[in-house]
């Protein structure tokens, strides 16, 4: 138990389930670190840790996180949306973390000549580590299939003759291609999500407040990642044109420069992807001293 400032009474420290290894774990650590909630482990292989002294982390397999959160073993968790949907448990999504982007797709052997789902014959055997989502998908499109559950490396199954098609995760599609498989359809788009079990009819309690604060902290970091803070000295006479180039969050901030003469300083938040073009446009308007920095957090 601990005293929570602003709440005024003691609440148990919330437990957050995080992936212990695999694709998502590094990105999850980086995000919590950037939000000031870096994991302080007791040892290299610790199964739990303090997250910035605010939360307790438990490190478990990404596949197990939906169950742990749904059963109340953890108050919240971070895992792939594909795993949340496959679990079939009732869980609430609090935040899309925008990494671990992949899709669950149906694929068939290149040599089969099959290019779309409609060309599948009879009741094809489907090798997959996602039996629930696969069954649901084929039921929805009105196709009879036989599910062959595998725990991984489904892409080899058609070559071994134990399945006709596969349902598997991919991000670039290259694993399918390397294994001589052609994608036929997408079942689900996935990214890593922060999840919790649905609260009893809209209860506003200390747990909800702590989770809201966590969402705000993580969201501010995610939002800032593809933004940059840009400062430039701008000829006063060109301010109107500069406004078109630099919309900022609420229009650029204009600051007087001591002895700046005909120049003023302009500060604005710009998208990282357009910084290159923005700088060229500002240069063309006679701007000088252009400075671009990363933003740690952005809360509108
Ligand atoms: P892990 O088994 O621990 O590596 O975690 C697998 C999770 O990472 C999946 O359930 C997805 O949510 C996510 N992921 C992201 N990209 C991919 C990909 N290309 N292939 C498989 N999983 C991916």
pLDDT tens for each residue of 278-289? 999 999 999 999
Task: State if residue 24 touches ligand 1 by the CB under 6 angstroms criterion.
Answer: yes
200 band by pLDDT with thresholds 50, 70 and 90: low
The pLDDT value recorded for residue 152 is: 85
CA 122 to ligand 1 centroid distance, Å:
31
Task: State if residue 104 touches ligand 1 by the CB under 6 angstroms criterion.
Answer: no
Q: Which residue has a Cα nearest atom 18 of ligand 1? A: 170
Task: Let me know if 80 is exposed, middle or buried by CB neighbors in 10 A (0-12, 13-18, 19+).
Answer: buried
Out of 28, 80, 81, 170, mutate this one to test ligand 1's pocket (max ligand atoms within 8 Å of CB): namely: 80
Q: Which atom of ligand 1 is nearest to the CA of 192?
A: 12
CA 153 to ligand 1 centroid distance, Å:
12
Q: Which residue has a Cα nearest atom 13 of ligand 1? A: 100
Q: Which atom of ligand 1 is nearest to the CA of 61?
A: 3
CA 68 to ligand 1 centroid distance, Å:
18
CA 85 to ligand 1 centroid distance, Å:
14
Task: Say yes or no to pLDDT of 142 above 90.
Answer: yes
Q: How many CB atoms lie within 10 A of CB 53?
A: 11
CA 24 to ligand 1 centroid distance, Å:
7
Task: Let me know if 16 is exposed, middle or buried by CB neighbors in 10 A (0-12, 13-18, 19+).
Answer: buried
The pLDDT value recorded for residue 250 is: 72
Q: Which residue has a Cα nearest atom 15 of ligand 1? A: 100
92 Cβ contact partners less than 8 Å away, ≥ 6 residues apart: 195, 196, 197, 198, 199
Rounded mean pLDDT, 184-204: 88
Q: Which is more confident, 3 or 183?
A: 183
* C-alpha distances out from residue 6 to 152, 209, 216, Å: 47, 10, 16
The partner residues of 270 in beta bridges, in order of sequence, read 228
CA 289 to ligand 1 centroid distance, Å:
43
249 band by pLDDT with thresholds 50, 70 and 90: low
DSSP state of 277: H
Task: Say yes or no to pLDDT of 161 above 80.
Answer: yes
Chain centre distance of CA 66? 16
CA 171 to ligand 1 centroid distance, Å:
9
Task: State if residue 102 touches ligand 1 by the CB under 6 angstroms criterion.
Answer: yes
10 band by pLDDT with thresholds 50, 70 and 90: low
Task: Say yes or no to pLDDT of 51 above 60.
Answer: yes
CA 181 to ligand 1 centroid distance, Å:
19
Task: Say yes or no to pLDDT of 203 above 80.
Answer: no
Task: State if residue 190 touches ligand 1 by the CB under 6 angstroms criterion.
Answer: yes
The pLDDT value recorded for residue 177 is: 94
DSSP state of 13: P
Q: Which atom of ligand 1 is nearest to the CA of 21?
A: 3
């Amino acid at each position: 138990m601990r005293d929570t400032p602003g709440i005024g009474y003691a609440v148990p420290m919330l437990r957050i389930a995080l992936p212990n290894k695999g694709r998502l774990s590094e990105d999850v650590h980086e995000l919590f670190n950037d939000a000031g909630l870096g994991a302080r482990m007791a040892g290299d292989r610790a199964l739990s840790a303090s997250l910035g002294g605010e939360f307790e982390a438990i490190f478990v397999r990404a596949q197990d996180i939906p169950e742990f959160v749904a059963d109340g073993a953890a108050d919240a968790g971070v895992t792939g949306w594909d795993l949340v949907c496959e679990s079939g448990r009732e869980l609430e999504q609090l935040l899309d973390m925008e990494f671990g982007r992949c899709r669950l797709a149906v694929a068939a052997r290149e040599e089969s000549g099959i290019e779309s789902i409609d060309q599948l014959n009879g009741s094809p055997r489907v090798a997959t580590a996602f039996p629930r989502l696969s069954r649901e998908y084929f039921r929805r499109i009105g196709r009879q299939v036989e599910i062959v559950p595998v725990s991984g490396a489904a892409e080899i199954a058609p070559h071994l003759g134990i399945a006709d098609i596969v349902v598997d995760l991919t991000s670039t599609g290259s694993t399918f291609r390397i294994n001589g498989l052609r994608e036929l359809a997408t079942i689900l788009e996935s990214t890593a999500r922060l999840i919790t079990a649905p609260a009893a009819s809209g209860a506003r309690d200390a747990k909800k407040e702590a989770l809201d604060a966590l969402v705000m902290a993580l969201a501010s970091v995610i939002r800032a990642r593809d933004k940059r803070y840009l400062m430039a000295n701008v000829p006063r006479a060109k301010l109107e044109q500069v406004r078109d180039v630099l919309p900022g969050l609420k229009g650029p901030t204009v600051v007087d420069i001591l002895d700046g003469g005909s120049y003023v300083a302009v500060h604005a938040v710009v998208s990282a992807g357009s910084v290159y073009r923005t700088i060229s446009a500002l240069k063309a308007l006679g701007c000088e001293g252009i400075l671009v920095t990363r933003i740690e957090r952005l809360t509108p």
